[in-house]
Amino acid sequence: MKFLSIFILFTLAVSLPRAHSADAMKVTMPGVGEERAFPQTQGADLYQAACQACHMPEGVGATAAATYPALAKDPRLKPKAFPITRVLNGSKAMPSFKATLSDEQIVAVVGYVRTHFGNHYSDTISLEDVKALRQ
Amino acid sequence: MTARFNPPEPQGMKRRDLLQMIGLIAGGSALYNAMTTLGFAADSQYTGPVTLRGAPAGTRIVVLGAGWAGLLAALELRDAGYSVQLLDYNDRIGGRAWSLRGGDVYTEMGGETQRCEFDSGLYVNPGPWRIPYHHRGVLAYARRFNVTLEPFIMVNYNAYVHSSRHFGGKPKRFREVQADFHGHVAELLAKATSKERLDEAVSREDQEKLLAALRSWGALDENYAYRANFDSAERRGYEVNKGGGLMPPPLPSTPIGLQDLLNSNLWEALNSGQIHQWQSTIFQPVGGMDMTPKAIGREIENLITLNAQVKQIKQDERGVTVSYVDSRTGKDARQVRADWCVCTIPLSILSQLDMNVGAPMSAAINALPYESAVKTGLQMKRRFWEEDDAIYGGITFTDLPIQQIAYPNTSYNKPGKGVLLGTFAFGDPALSLTGMSPRLRVQKAVEYGAQIHPQYATEFENGISVAWHRVPGAMGCAAAWDSQLQAAHYDNLAQLDGRIVLAGDHLSRGLTGWQEGAVLSSLDAITRLHKRIVNG
């Protein structure tokens, strides 16, 4: 995150598209912002970088005070619009990846999850599918 | 942007005299209020200890969550005369105000268990780690519970700023980058000024003053140039430092060129200590950030039930029923019945609990994503950052995924081991680190850190890593408000809903992730709840 946006946030209270607002953490790092947060292009790599934190290796999910849903053998993934919409818009505590993943990356990662972890939904996802759901 | 409002001084009396008089007559908190009105001390919305009077006898309040917000709610409501019960999911109090020490065992979501192997006396704060001077609420409770503070070094001129892509991946000292950036900018401005290109912005008379200021600020020479000489060396450091006797005479160092500096983006790190929340003075509790919550917890020990996982919060016309199980086993279902409820459970968890609040609060609870953060503590065999690199406390900033290396702000210049904060990652890069196993996170912290401190290769002993999205009782670092979410949901989230009021740092404007946010939110929530109870 660029310093400039942090500066604006703190001094002018200008609204930002996705203002990181856990204010305690907002110290600026040199060089951050020169490239995408997620440079990966392959589905497996993107899953590891963006999804595995909560949905866990092999998509098994986890439960503690509340639950990160499992994605393994998940019938909800059958209609492709469902996972695409979730990735784009987030849900409850799950963040939106609209601003941090490209259409190509969403095609790759959703395609990966729908064909791994015991999921066998082989109908292809196109860039148009993502574009249509991206508002 | 601050409009300075200067009220007229009372006739025949200096402001200081008036304040003294108010202090003598009405005591400290009146003095504070008066000071605020007169334009001093207006850097905090903490208004002194809460005084809640007239609690109806026998009124029961259940408080959920034993972090800062819940602990203060329980403490102050008990002191007001309420009958209080406090439940927490964890086997410890403090919530995110947490310290890990040798012998601690921590199991993250996904099931991997780490045992902290630090030597006695060493620790890492995986959550909050600094208390700015204007966080008056946190400071007031630290004072009240006799917690000893020490300075937290935010800006260390001799720590590093590092870009893996510039200067051959070699780190620069903060002072070099700051001196050179200021120097070059001052020189550019001085050139523009003396060529009279700033005529519209600066009057003729002021141009001379501006030139003098730029020369002083940027360490420019008599021709308004920034170059290697003893003036710039006094800012950025020497090639050969000053000595005594027949030691070699000092030699100035060579500044980094403007273009290299701009391209490296290292200048971005210069502002870390300029922002209100990070300006000096900043404190840390001696021995760990959990010191104050623990002290408060001892005071209200008999009210607290640990290992209590809340499953359901149901309110009706007469009260609130909270159903919970033992968080270690998922069994042993129990209930607490109370008249009112203060709920400080993070929204990342609350959004999945069975709770009957109105649609506006419910929508707010379901609207907020949570930020990611990762911290990794690394024990080193010796304090090489001090012994070899002369870095005492403070933070090194890097473009590597670890983002920061922070040095212990305590036990300076002592022999023996030390614990570094080897990672403080935030945002999307932190999400990627969270996806790794804790062991791999520690390994990565060592690999990346060794690019800045090669001593890691021989000095590293053991480490422990906390990724906040995998912390079982938190499931995220802090609520990710933005201006649209605030406009749509903030007020709805903060309002009393029937017999339930929410509190926590997620209910602060601009203080999410800060302990002060939890303190101010909690005091505000219980004050409003008390008024509602007393006034009906």
Q: State chain B's mean pLDDT as an integer.
A: 93
Q: Give the nearest chain A residue to B512 (CA atoms).
A: A22
- Preferred mutation among B1, B352, B404, B440 to probe A, highest tally of A CBs within 10 A: B352
What is the model's pLDDT at position A67? Answer: 98
Q: Is the pLDDT of residue B37 over 80?
A: no
CB contact under 8 A, B266 and A7: no
Considering chain B, what percentage of its residues have pLDDT values greater than 70? 92
CB contact under 8 A, A7 and B271: yes
Q: Please write the tens of the pLDDT for every residue from B415-458.
A: 999 999 999 999 889 999 999 999 999 999 999 999 999 999 99
Q: B501: buried, middle or exposed (CB in 10 Å: 19+, 13-18, 0-12)? A: buried
CB contact under 8 A, A22 and B473: no
CB pairs A-B closer than 8 Å: 194
DSSP character string of B242-289: ---TTSPPPEEPPPPPHHHHHHHTGGGGGGGGTSGGGSSPEEEETT-T
Q: Is the pLDDT of residue B189 over 70?
A: yes
Measured CA to CA, the distance from residue B247 to residue B375 in angstroms comes to 44
CB contact under 8 A, A53 and B470: yes
DSSP character string of B445-465: HHHHHTTT-TTHHHHEEEEEE
A122 touches chain B (CB under 8 A): no
What is the model's pLDDT at position A96? Answer: 94
What is the model's pLDDT at position A5? Answer: 35
What is the model's pLDDT at position B201? Answer: 79
Mean pLDDT along residues A2-17: 32
What is the model's pLDDT at position A84? Answer: 98
All domains of chain A, ordered by start, with CATH? 2-134 (1.10.760.10)
Q: Is the pLDDT of residue B97 over 50?
A: yes
Q: Is the pLDDT of residue A2 over 80?
A: no
Crossing angle (nearest 10°) for helices B204-218 and B174-194: 160
Render the burial of B419-457: b for 16+ CB within 10 Å, e for the rest.
Answer: bbbbbbbbbbbbbbbbbbebeebbbbbbebbebbbebbe
Q: Is the pLDDT of residue B40 over 80?
A: no
What is the model's pLDDT at position B203? Answer: 84
A3 touches chain B (CB under 8 A): yes
Q: Please write the tens of the pLDDT for every residue from B143-184.
A: 999 999 999 999 999 999 999 999 999 999 999 999 999 999
Measured CA to CA, the distance from residue B441 to residue B439 in angstroms comes to 5
Distance from CA of B267 to the nearest CA of A (A): 7
Q: Give the nearest chain A residue to B352 (CA atoms).
A: A66
CB contact under 8 A, B369 and A11: no
A93 touches chain B (CB under 8 A): yes
What is the model's pLDDT at position B374? Answer: 97
CB contact under 8 A, B480 and A22: yes
Q: Which of B23-32, B98-107, B492-501 has the lowest mean pLDDT?
A: B23-32
CB contact under 8 A, B269 and A51: no
What is the model's pLDDT at position B44? Answer: 83
Q: Is the pLDDT of residue A17 over 50?
A: no
What is the model's pLDDT at position A26? Answer: 47
| Chain A partners within 8 Å of B278 (Cβ) | 27
What is the model's pLDDT at position B21? Answer: 55
The residues that bridge with B87 in the sheet, in sequence order, are B64, B305
Mean pLDDT along residues B366-380: 97
pLDDT confidence tier of residue A12, bands split at 50, 70 and 90: very low
Other C-beta atoms within 10 Å of B380: how many?
A: 23
CB contact under 8 A, B161 and A30: yes
| Chain A partners within 8 Å of B284 (Cβ) | none
Considering chain A, what percentage of its residues have pLDDT values greater than 90? 70
